Amino acid sequence: MRPVAAFLIGGLFGLGLLIGGMTDTDRVQNWLDIFGAWDPTLAFVMGGAILPMAVAWRVAAARGRAGGAAALGGPLPEPRDYRPIDRDLVTGSALFGVGWALVGLCPGPSVAVLGFGGWPAWLFLAAMAAGMAGARFLRRGLPDPDPVCG
């Protein structure tokens, strides 16, 4: 049941990326071009996405405090930072921002575009996977035992 739910949720997420224009690299690059042809659309995508998620965190926190679990079982992630603000967070995010501007794709849209982006989409994915594999050798702290994002 978990993979079925994940597949449907992934599909919904991908559809949102497509409708919001996140798979259009011109639009993304124009959003980053504040001194040029600035396109504010992505701020609306971000705002729209944050609203349901803010509600979900409140529900998860309340449910977690009451000892509840996720609908398909297992613990609910706690609404707290699992790691400190460290150098890896800042240098990593800065590096990510540079790559985001170079091509106009971040990880979600890079997956959503695979079916219609042609070979450049697959080349970008391969390079991204290689970068991800290399990260463990550059991390200053210990390898992460818990793959929670955030």
What is the spatial distance between Cα 91 and Cα 87, in angstroms, rounded to a whole number?
Answer: 6
Site for other proteins in 22-61 (CB under 8 A): 22-27, 29, 32-36, 39-57, 59-60
CB of 28 to other proteins, least distance (A): 9
Comparing C-alpha atoms, which of 57, 98, 99 is closest to residue 77? 57
* Spatial distance between the Cα atoms of 150 and 133, rounded to a whole number of angstroms: 18
Say whether residue 11 binds other proteins (CB under 8 A).
yes
Nearest to 104 by CA among 113, 92, 93: 113
Q: Which residue of 66, 67, 142, 147 would you call a contact of other proteins, by CB under 8 A?
A: 147
Residues in Cβ contact with 101 at an 8 Å cutoff, skipping those fewer than 6 apart: 29, 32
In the region spanning residues 113 to 132, those forming contacts with other proteins, defined by CB under 8 A, are 113-118, 120-121, 123-132
List the beta strands (DSSP E) in 41-131. none
CB 67, min distance to other proteins, A: 14
Binding-site member from 66, 67, 75, 142 for other proteins (CB under 8 A): 75
Q: Assess 6 for contact with other proteins (CB under 8 A).
A: yes
**What tokens appear for 34 in the block?**
């504040």
Residue 62 binds to other proteins (criterion: CB under 8 A): no
Residues of span 77-116 touching other proteins by CB under 8 A: 77, 79-81, 83, 85, 88-108, 110-116
